[in-house]
Amino acid sequence: MEPLLLYPDPPPPVLVQALDLAGYPWKAAGTAEAATRLEPGDGWAGAVVCADVDGEGAFALCRALRKRDLPLEPLLVMVAGHQLADLELREDMFDDFCVSPFQDRELEARLKHLFWRTGQGTRPELVEYGPLILNLETYQAAIAGRPLDLTYMEYELLKFLATHPGKVFTREILLSRVWGYEYYGGARTVDVHIRRLRAKLGTEHEHLISTVRSVGYRFGQSRWGL
């Protein structure tokens, strides 16, 4: 997937975090000239322009992006509440808008809809289970919107469990499926990683990984709700 163009440069941290967690690559530019200079060979996937930070500069950029030989789309603008009344006069400059402060899921939904409508992008491959989101392209994870700082093997173990919700796995199966058949570590390795994952999920969400006594571990609920 080609990167999104973000304005301004640097972009707001909350926007960066939301896009990073959703798996959308991006590059920031502060002017139309910079946007042209940084543009990938296959073009931008779209643009997210923060008009709530600098309205005059933001809409000047939107105007320039629309006047190109191949107008940039989709173009999403982030606006403050007091700017809503003026949007009707500028509706030719953007494809959709989102009001700040925004919810991450709303931003993702609007981008997904714009990409579907224009056919110029796709949603990154995600694994979602309740409050847990795993991005399979960027190896990022978040629980209830909070980024998780996972090691590679912690991520791989959580990904395996989350893609098989409700199923019980012995320590031996987890070792072979996650670590590989050539791994010579003992079953204690699994216990240690499970304990670390639960700690990072936090007390509110550690129950996502349950212990099945004398058998192994299960992620989420069994199909019978046991």
> What is residue 224's predicted lDDT score, i.e. its pLDDT?
44
Query: Between the CA of residue 187 and those of 108, 140, 170, 176, 226, what are the distances in Å?
Result: 39, 26, 9, 10, 25
> What is residue 226's predicted lDDT score, i.e. its pLDDT?
41
Looking at the chain, which residues constitute the CATH 3.40.50.2300 domain(s)?
Answer: 4-118
> What is the distance between the alpha carbons of residues 88 and 85, in angstroms, rounded to a whole number?
7
| 126-219: CATH number | 1.10.10.10
| pLDDT by position in tens, the chain (length 226) | 689 999 999 999 999 988 888 888 899 999 999 999 999 988 899 999 999 988 999 999 999 999 988 888 899 999 999 899 888 888 889 999 999 998 888 898 888 888 877 665 555 678 889 899 998 878 889 998 899 999 999 999 999 999 999 999 999 889 888 887 566 667 788 999 999 999 999 999 999 999 999 899 999 975 444 4
The letter for the amino acid at 52 is D
- Cβ 50 vs Cβ 1: under 8 Å: no
Query: Between the CA of residue 74 and those of 44, 47, 103, 205, what are the distances in Å?
Result: 9, 6, 20, 36
Phi then psi for residue 214, to 5 deg, are 65, 5
| 4-118: CATH number | 3.40.50.2300
> Does the pTM of the predicted model rise above 0.85?
no
DSSP codes, 98-164: EESSPPHHHHHHHHHHHHHHHTS--PPPEEEETTEEEETTTTEEEETTEE----HHHHHHHHHHHTS
Write out the H or E segment, with its range, that includes residue 26.
Answer: strand 26-28
> What is residue 181's predicted lDDT score, i.e. its pLDDT?
58
> What is the distance between the alpha carbons of residues 80 and 102, in angstroms, rounded to a whole number?
10
The letter for the amino acid at 41 is G
SS (H, E, C) 155-189: HHHHHHHHCCCCCEEEHHHHHHHHHCCCCCCCCHH
Write out the H or E segment, with its range, that includes residue 49.
Answer: strand 46-50
Query: Between the CA of residue 203 and those of 120, 148, 209, what are the distances in Å?
Result: 41, 14, 11
- Cβ 35 vs Cβ 66: under 8 Å: no
First vs last C-alpha separation in the chain: 41
